[in-house]
Copies of this chain bind each other. A is one copy, B any other.
Amino acid sequence: MTGSSVAIPARHGKALVLMAGQAVKLVNTHGTQVVDCWAWRRGALEEFMSMEATRVWNQQLNPKVGDTLVTNRRNPILTIVDDTSPGVHDSFMAACDRQRYERLNVEGYHRNCFDNMLEAVRDLGYEVPNPTLASLNVFMNIAVKPDGRSLDTLPTLTQPGDFITFRAEMECIVAFSACPQDIVKIQGQADNTPRNAHFSILENGDYPALPVSQAWIPG
Q: Is A4 interfacial (CB 8 A cutoff)?
A: no
Residues of A within 8 A of B (CB): 50-53, 55-56, 59-62, 64, 72-75, 92-95, 97, 99-100, 102-105, 129-130, 132-134, 143-144, 148-151, 153, 183-185, 215, 217-218
A92 close to B52 (CB less than 8 A)? yes
Known A-B contacts A103-B74, A217-B105; A56 and B149 likewise in contact (beta carbons under 8 Å): no
In the complex, the count of this chain's copies comes to 2
Closest 5 CB pairs of A and B: A52-B94, A130-B130, A74-B99, A103-B215, A53-B94
The residue of chain B having its C-beta at the shortest distance from the C-beta of A135 within the complex is: B52
Q: Is the CB of A133 within 8 A of B53?
A: yes
Instruction: Show 30 residue pairs from A and B whose CB-CB distance is below 8 angstroms, ordered by the A residue.
Output: A51-B52, A52-B92, A52-B95, A52-B134, A55-B92, A56-B100, A59-B150, A59-B151, A59-B153, A60-B150, A60-B151, A61-B144, A61-B150, A61-B151, A64-B149, A72-B133, A74-B97, A74-B99, A74-B102, A74-B103, A75-B99, A92-B92, A103-B215, A104-B217, A130-B130, A132-B132, A143-B148, A144-B144, A184-B218, A185-B218
